[in-house]
Structure formats: C-alpha cells, structure tokens
Amino acid sequence: MDKKLSRNDLCFCGSGKKYKKCHSDVHPNSRAANLIDMHRNIEEKVISYQEKTGFIPPCHKGCYSCCFDDFSISEVEIVK
C-alpha cells in the first residue's frame, strides 16, 4: 500500500474493479482501507478452509452462516 494509486489502478480491496469505480472515496492508507483489506484477507482464509475441508455451508451470496453455525450473542447486541 505504499505505492500511490491512480484512478485506473485496480482497487486495493481486491474486488478486481478499478479504484475510481470501487473505493475512490476511501484513501488507500486510511483505517477504513486497512479494515477492508483485513476483511478481504479473512474471507480468503475462510474460503480456503472451506475448500480444503469440503465443509461449505448451504448459504447464498451475502449470507454469513448465521443460522447454520452456533455463536453467542450478548444482550446488548440483541437490543440494538
């Protein structure tokens, strides 16, 4: 991320889109850009794990297995 992005370079988020059509409103060295990059890395690791184990949840695009996996939720999160 130390190289300056031009509008026609691929976006730092890994979408494959040009920077000007994707996250041009986010500075590539900002906290938001780092968060987007972190989420992309996590998603890649999850996909890699699923491919290696063959454990692929029956979800559609945009689903995050909430009804398929057990997870804890606090009272504060329920109220929001």
Residue 66 — left, alpha, or beta (φ > 0 → left; ψ -120 to 50 → alpha)?
alpha
Q: Where are the domains of the chain?
A: 19-79
Q: pLDDT tens digit string along 38-73?
A: 888 888 888 898 889 887 777 777 776 666 666 677
pTM for the full model?
0.52
Q: Residue 36 in contact with residue 13, Cβ under 8 Å?
A: yes
Mean per-residue pLDDT over the chain, rounded = 77
Taking the C-alpha atoms of residue 70 and residue 13, their distance in angstroms, rounded to an integer, is 29
CB-based contacts of 21: which residues, under 8 Å, 6+ apart? Answer: 11
